[in-house]
């Protein structure tokens, strides 16, 4: 009961489209601040700008109540060194985090200075951040006074992998005795998104759900000029939306399925949901904004759709404090992101290889298991009920296991390491560093355009999205107060409208999944493990052929499929940007996971720099920036935030 | 089994039913339709009936439809067979699967 086929069999016909059809109709909306994307960063940006008393519009592709990577939940408030239980100075922790090559020191500094304030504000809104019901009394890391639950994550250093030089832990000036850093707090994140939406509504933010944004509008329609608005498509009605705004904040995400699309498990074939299609990055690119680190990619490690998605032990995504044992109960020496190993998540390649050899010799027997029954009861509940029960997509996994009769005090949870094989190097994902270049106001290189969360280059996690969103909101609001009314170009709108509706003018040809898979295949062949000038150029050629021959065949039967089709067009452009950026970097790089056969030397000194890329008069233009181009993080932050008063006191 | 008339139907999309509704409990409030990031569902044309799963192949298995349902038992996640997890009773060694 409930499938389309059930309905068809019962009724003898397909259901009518349930929403009014408004193709080609226009709606115009004015805003002081337009926020594009209603995930964690977008909600925080919107409410932060609204606190300044401005007319704020928030536009979201799904429904703001649960949309975005953090929509279903969030298990850890990471890198929150300003919390009262922390043993490190926020600026020193930020500096330490920013030692990682090709990170974003600006965003990290903002996160470390302001994400404790955002956490307390979440509590004001109704989010749960403490063990107020005393469910976990006795758990390690629980503080009786504040009732905060400190996580073992990053207990000694900021690393998932215990690499040699850091296993001993870093000694911070602010933490000379090497106490646990206490910079990660376990939270009840499934409560967060609904209260954020409610707070936006309370502050008068006008929310447009189910609207996919398709382009930015610039002054006189000129590439590189001030951003004065944006266009969108309602994915239920097909209505064309025109937003005029004094400033805009991009708070959308990276591109989730550039290399891998299973046409069968289209929504489930990688870590991110189908809605993650790089729309924001692409609209900023077309408007002339500068991007950086677009050549950086990662290999999919979990949830590829060809793999499970069960969070069953260290090395998959890890769970805290759960020992990994083999089929006979013998402990496997994997880190468990626990108190005993300073929060490390995954084994080193050496440990991984040693375990593999012992499996082949019969010393360990497969499959492995997470030994929940071996844990102290309170730690088991903290991991199963709180950490996994509050995290994004694991909440439903835990619920499904519980309903099926699984009991963590009695049952070992199966781990799929080794028996499921490894991801192919051709199964990659883009969202490993590429994004919009921003300055200390989180302003992009375009006047009037700001970025937050995953939309920025080298983004981090949930609390990073919250802190940078809130920051971008107040900076964009300050800008909007100073500038005049925006004037959009009707010609630019007309061109975009023609582009948007082209697939619904056709009723046959190529549907979105086939096109998506074609783009993914091109990226697998020409922009993966083996990169050369020749292969990358062949990739550009293939994508151009897709643009010229397949895109004109793209058809969509309804507004929803039109949205999916437009996402493909975003992915296509995003793929081209990645290849252009890959051509520009004529050196291999370990931290960027970037291998050029024709330039094999890893990270030669002259290539240790950010490469930037943008469109200028329709032509691709690359540039460069030194590592740590943001300057002294503490000084810069303070110089740009003299008016920052910390915790919001209410309105 | 003989049927006098059969429609010529294409293969169903697999997985076809990422969730299963219980029509005795579901009152068609469409909360699941609204919280879904992907718009997997559409409301049933008949008011009070469970929504229709229109885009099963786009499901992220994020679970908000189940987590936020105001009527417990009205909707359950139905993992594709290939994705169902296993566990083992530590004392007896008995292996079970979702």
Q: Record the tokens describing residue A130, joined without a space.
A: 């403490």
Contact A393 B60 (CB under 8 A): yes
* Minimum distance, in Å, between the CA of residue B52 and any CA atom of chain A: 5
Residues of chain B contacting residue A369, judged by C-beta atoms under 8 Å apart: 88
- CB-closest option in A309, A413, A560 to B87: A413
What mean pLDDT do residues A310-314 have? Answer: 50
Residue range A478-493, pLDDT digits in tens:
999 999 999 999 999 9
User: By mean pLDDT, which of A26-40, A73-87, A310-324, A499-513 is the weakest?
Assistant: A310-324
What pLDDT does residue A476 have?
98
User: By mean pLDDT, which of A262-276, A388-402, A608-622 is the weakest?
Assistant: A262-276
Residues of chain A contacting residue B68, judged by C-beta atoms under 8 Å apart: 65-66
What pLDDT does residue B3 have?
64
- pLDDT band at A302; cut points 50, 70, 90: low
CA A588 from chain centre, in angstroms, equals 25
- pLDDT band at A409; cut points 50, 70, 90: very high
Residues of chain B contacting residue A511, judged by C-beta atoms under 8 Å apart: none
Q: Record the tokens describing residue B58, joined without a space.
A: 């786009």
- pLDDT band at A651; cut points 50, 70, 90: very low
Respond yes or no on whether ipTM tops 0.90: yes
What pLDDT does residue A309 have?
59
- CB-closest option in A8, A400, A411 to B77: A400
- HSE, CB side, 13 Å, CA atoms: give it for residue A535: 16
How is residue A306 annotated by DSSP? S
Residue closest to A245 by CA, chosen among A83, A45, A383: A45
What pLDDT does residue A161 have?
56
Contact A396 B52 (CB under 8 A): no
Residues 6 or more apart whose Cβ sits within 8 Å of residue B78: B15, B17, B18, B19, B20
What pLDDT does residue A556 have?
98
**Of A288 and A340, which is predicted with more confidence?**
A288
Predicted confidence (pLDDT) at residue A454 exceeds the cutoff of 60: yes
Residues 6 or more apart whose Cβ sits within 8 Å of residue B77: A396, A399, A400, B18, B19, B61, B63, B65, B66
Cα(B36)–Cα(B40) distance, rounded to whole angstroms? Answer: 7
Residue range A234-272, pLDDT digits in tens:
999 999 999 999 999 999 988 878 898 888 777 777 777
- pLDDT band at A308; cut points 50, 70, 90: low
What mean pLDDT do residues A273-298 have? Answer: 94
Cα(A246)–Cα(A56) distance, rounded to whole angstroms? Answer: 10
B44 domain-assigned: yes
B97 domain-assigned: no
Q: Is A63 on the interface with B (CB under 8 A)?
A: yes
What mean pLDDT do residues A303-316 have? Answer: 50
Residue range A131-142, pLDDT digits in tens:
999 999 999 999
What pLDDT does residue A165 have?
44
Three-state DSSP at A540 gives helix
What pLDDT does residue A314 have?
41
Residue range B5-34, pLDDT digits in tens:
888 888 888 888 999 999 999 999 999 999
Predicted confidence (pLDDT) at residue A432 exceeds the cutoff of 90: no
Let me know how long chain A is.
Answer: 651
Residues of chain B contacting residue A568, judged by C-beta atoms under 8 Å apart: none
In the CATH scheme, what is the code of domain A490-626? Answer: 1.20.58.100
Predicted confidence (pLDDT) at residue A649 exceeds the cutoff of 70: no
* Minimum distance, in Å, between the CA of residue B1 and any CA atom of chain A: 17
Cα(A82)–Cα(A115) distance, rounded to whole angstroms? Answer: 8
**pTM of the prediction?**
0.95
Contact B64 A275 (CB under 8 A): no
Residue range A147-201, pLDDT digits in tens:
999 998 887 766 655 554 445 567 889 999 888 899 999 999 999 999 999 999 9
- pLDDT band at A304; cut points 50, 70, 90: very low
Number of domains chain B contains: 1
B67 domain-assigned: yes
What pLDDT does residue A648 have?
61
Residue closest to A92 by CA, chosen among A186, A157, A185, A141: A157
Report the CATH number that the domain containing residue B80 is assigned in CATH.
Answer: 3.30.70.20
Residue of chain A whose Cα is closest to the Cα of B53: A3
Phi/psi of residue A532, each to 5°?
-140, 165
Let me know how long chain B is.
Answer: 98
User: By mean pLDDT, which of A217-221, A294-298, A319-323, A621-625 is the weakest?
Assistant: A319-323
Pairing outcome for strands A240-250 and A26-36: parallel
**What angle is formed at CA A586 by the lines to CA A585 and CA A589, rounded to 5 degrees?**
70
What pLDDT does residue A121 have?
96
Cα(B45)–Cα(B50) distance, rounded to whole angstroms? Answer: 10
Q: Is the peptide bond before A367 cis (omega within 30 degrees of 0)?
A: yes
> How does the average pLDDT of chain A come out, rounded?
92
Phi/psi of residue A263, each to 5°?
-70, -15
**Of A266 and B92, which is predicted with more confidence?**
B92
Boundaries of domain holding B33: 19-91
B9 domain-assigned: no
Residue range A510-569, pLDDT digits in tens:
999 999 999 999 999 999 999 999 999 999 999 999 999 999 999 999 999 999 999 999
Q: Record the tokens describing residue A577, joined without a space.
A: 């940007």
- A 134-193: CB under 8 A from B: 190
- Whole-angstrom CA distances from A424 to A259, A420, A524, A590, A592 are 11, 12, 10, 18, 18
* Minimum distance, in Å, between the CA of residue B78 and any CA atom of chain A: 9
What pLDDT does residue A421 have?
74
Cα(A257)–Cα(A431) distance, rounded to whole angstroms? Answer: 9
Q: Record the tokens describing residue A184, joined without a space.
A: 């990660």
Residue of chain B whose Cα is closest to the Cα of A405: B98
Contact B35 A403 (CB under 8 A): no
């Amino acid at each position: 009961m409930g499938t389309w086929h059930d309905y068809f069999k019962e009724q003898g016909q397909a259901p009518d489209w349930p929403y009014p059809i408004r193709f080609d109709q226009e709606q115009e909306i004015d805003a002081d601040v337009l926020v594009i994307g209603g995930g964690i960063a977008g909600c925080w940006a919107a409410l932060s700008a609204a606190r300044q008393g401005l007319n704020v519009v928030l536009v979201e592709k799904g429904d703001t109540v649960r949309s975005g990577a953090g929509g279903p939940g969030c298990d850890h408030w990471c890198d929150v060194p300003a919390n009262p239980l922390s043993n490190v100075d926020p600026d020193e922790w930020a500096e330490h985090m920013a030692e990682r090559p090709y990170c974003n020191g600006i965003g990290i500094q903002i996160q470390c200075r302001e994400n404790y304030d955002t956490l307390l504000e979440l509590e004001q809104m109704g989010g749960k951040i403490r063990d107020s019901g005393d469910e976990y009394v006795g758990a390690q890391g629980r503080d009786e006074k504040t009732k905060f639950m400190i996580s073992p994550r990053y207990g000694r250093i900021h690393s998932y992998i215990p690499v040699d030089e850091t296993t001993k832990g870093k000694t911070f000036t602010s933490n000379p005795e090497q106490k646990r850093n206490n910079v990660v707090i376990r939270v009840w994140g499934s409560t967060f998104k609904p209260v954020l939406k409610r707070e936006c509504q309370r502050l008068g933010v006008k929310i447009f759900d189910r609207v996919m944004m398709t382009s930015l509008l610039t002054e006189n329609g000129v590439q590189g000029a001030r951003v004065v608005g944006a266009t969108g498509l309602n994915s239920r009605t097909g209505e064309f939306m025109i937003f005029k705004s004094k400033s805009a904040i991009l708070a959308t995400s990276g591109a989730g399925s550039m290399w891998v699309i299973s046409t069968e498990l289209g929504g489930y074939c990688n870590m991110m949901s189908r809605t993650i299609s790089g729309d924001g990055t692409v609209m900023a690119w077309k408007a002339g904004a500068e991007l950086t680190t677009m050549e950086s990619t990662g290999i999919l490690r979990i949830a590829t759709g060809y793999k499970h998605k069960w969070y069953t032990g260290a090395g998959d995504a890890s769970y805290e404090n759960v020992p990994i044992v083999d089929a006979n109960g013998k402990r496997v020496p994997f880190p468990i992101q626990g108190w005993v190993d300073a929060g490390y998540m995954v084994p080193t390649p050496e440990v991984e290889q040693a375990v593999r050899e012992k499996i082949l010799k019969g010393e360990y027997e497969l499959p492995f298991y997470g030994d929940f029954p071996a844990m102290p009861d309170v730690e088991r509940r903290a991991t199963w009920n709180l950490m996994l029960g509050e995290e994004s997509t694991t909440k439903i996994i835990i619920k499904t296991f519980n309903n099926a009769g699984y009991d963590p005090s009695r049952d070992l949870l199966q781990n799929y390491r080794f028996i499921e094989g490894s991801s192919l190097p051709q199964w990659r994902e883009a969202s490993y560093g590429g994004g919009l270049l921003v300055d200390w106001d989180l302003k992009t290189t375009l006047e009037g355009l700001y970025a937050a969360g995953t939309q920025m280059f080298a983004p981090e996690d949930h609390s990073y999205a919250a802190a940078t969103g809130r920051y971008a909101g107040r900076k964009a609001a300050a800008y909007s107060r100073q500038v005049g009314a925006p004037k959009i170009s009707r010609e630019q709108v007309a061109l975009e409208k023609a582009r948007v509706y082209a697939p619904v003018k056709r009723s046959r040809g190529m549907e979105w999944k086939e096109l998506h898979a074609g783009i993914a295949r091109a990226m697998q062949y020409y922009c993966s493990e083996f990169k050369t000038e020749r292969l990358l150029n062949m990739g550009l050629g293939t994508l151009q052929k897709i643009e010229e021959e397949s895109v004109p065949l793209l058809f969509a039967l309804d507004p929803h499929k039109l949205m999916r089709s437009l996402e493909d067009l975003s992915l296509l452009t995003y793929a081209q940007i990645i290849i252009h950026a890959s051509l520009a970097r004529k050196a291999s790089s370990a931290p960027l996971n970037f291998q050029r056969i024709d330039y094999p030397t890893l990270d030669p000194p002259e290539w240790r720099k950010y490469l930037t890329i943008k469109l200028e008069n329709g032509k691709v233009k690359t540039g460069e920036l030194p590592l740590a181009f943001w300057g002294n993080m503490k000084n810069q932050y303070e110089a740009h935030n003299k008016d920052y008063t910390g915790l919001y006191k209410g309105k | 089994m003989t049927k006098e008339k059969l429609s010529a139907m294409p293969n169903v999309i697999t997985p076809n039913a990422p969730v299963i509704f219980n029509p005795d409990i579901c009152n068609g409030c469409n909360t699941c339709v609204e919280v879904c990031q992907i718009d997997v569902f559409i409301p049933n044309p008949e008011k009070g009936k469970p929504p229709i799963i229109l885009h099963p192949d786009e499901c992220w298995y994020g679970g908000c439809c189940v987590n936020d349902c105001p009527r417990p038992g009205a909707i359950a996640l139905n993992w594709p067979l290939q994705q169902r997890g296993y566990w083992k009773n530590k004392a007896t060694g008995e292996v079970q699967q979702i």
